[in-house]
Homo-oligomer: A and B are copies of this chain.
Amino acid sequence: MKIGIIGVGCSKFGVRDTTIQELAFEAVKEALDDANITQDDVNISVVGSVGTRNYELMPAVPVNEYCGFSGKGPIRVESACATGSSAVYTAYASIASGVAEVAIAIGVEKMTEVETPVSLAVGGRAGNYLWEFHQYGTTFPAYYAMHASSHMAKYGTTEEQMALVAVKAHRNAVKNPKAHLQKEIDVETVLNSRVIAYPLKLFDCSPISDGASAVILASESKVKELGADAVWIEGIGYSSDTSNMTRRESFVGLKASVEASRMAYRMAKIDNPVNQLDIATVHDCFTIAEIIAYEDLGFCRKGEGGRFIEDGESDFGGKIPVNTFGGLKAKGHPLAATGTAMVYEIVKQLREEAGKLQAEIKNYAGLTHNIGGTGHFAWVFVLRR
């Protein structure tokens, strides 16, 4: 059973003075127009939203009503920052199971309705509540700081190498009209910014953004009927890990990323990702996360992620351009909207519609890597046009 992506949409990311349903519609409208269909053609709508930061605690109903999917929206999904990918997966499985022919996955998040400390606190509760969050106040900058420290200690990764991830992200985001942070920065900007959780500084962290994105999927027969130029989902991989960081074997990688990518590569028959994929989006909620992702996804060997960015291998013209759209770091990271936006970016690249950010496409294959928490959830998709 082949499932194709026939339409994608993405709102402008940033501080958005809209309701969550209006924000969702920006992405849904673009996706419907892109697929050249209407709401009537959609059989099921899956709404992804973490939903803990906005006044709509159960956002699927108002989002579906406003977007014209009343009658078709029985499910909201949540997997922390990997929520958008869970929505895409549930839409995929709905078609593959024969329940639907056309499905839409909507990822939407309003984060700026609460103050930053509240947002961090709510985020921290996605980890282990009773012990790590409640006793130690561990929030996500602190979690990723532990990973950064471990990686520096074990492999000699430097703060400068991490800063390069931010510099690349900001450089790309300037050319992406949908990006939240549209300002170039240099290594010094990052190194001199204030420490959030050592060794992570302000510019090592993704911003708090509002945003929405949407992906429309269809069965193979429906793709043919519509004559659509589909991007096919060839590989799906998932994993999850303990909520207690104390039970993890190591902090230099995310086991869930490794497992999810292996599962997706097996399904998509990928044995050499850097040679077989043209492009990738990885979950760079913090700069260290992108470096670790290079390794966990098999773009380079364990411990060589710092060198990979330093050598330009993840930039245009490198072995595999990563986060050409500006990444979570600079385009923004509106939680649930991130996974669906990653699919949006890869689809645009594989269709060679990425404008000033277009990478070279030879294999017509790309990857999305979306993490919830610090590897509490992981999704990897392999897409091929």
Residues of A bordering B, CB below 8 Å: 1, 19, 44, 50, 52, 55-58, 60-62, 64-65, 69-80, 82, 86, 89-90, 92-99, 122, 125-130, 236, 238-244, 247, 255-256, 259, 373, 376-379
Counting chain B CB atoms within 10 Å of each CB, the highest count among A55, A77, A239 belongs to: A77
Q: Indicate whether A128 sits within 8 Å of B98 (C-beta atoms), given known contacts A240-B73, A256-B71.
A: no
Of B93, B376, B379, which is within 8 A of A94 by CB? B93
Which of chain B's residues have a CB closer than 8 A to the CB of A77?
A: 75-78, 90
8 tightest CB-CB pairs across the interface, nearest first?
A: A96-B97, A93-B93, A74-B238, A61-B243, A93-B97, A73-B240, A58-B126, A75-B86
Q: Are A240's CB and B78's CB within 8 A?
A: no
Q: Which one, B70, B71, B96, contacts A98 given CB within 8 A?
A: B96
Q: Give the one of A19, A65, A127 with max B CB within 10 A.
A: A65
The residues of B that contact A92 with a CB separation of less than 8 Å are 97
Contact A74 B78 (CB under 8 A): no
A-B contact pairs, 25 of them (CB 8 A): A1-B97, A50-B58, A56-B125, A57-B125, A58-B78, A60-B79, A61-B240, A61-B377, A62-B243, A65-B244, A69-B240, A70-B241, A70-B242, A71-B239, A73-B240, A74-B239, A75-B77, A75-B90, A77-B78, A92-B97, A93-B93, A93-B96, A93-B97, A93-B99, A97-B97
B residues less than 8 Å from A71 (CB atoms): 239-241, 255-256, 259
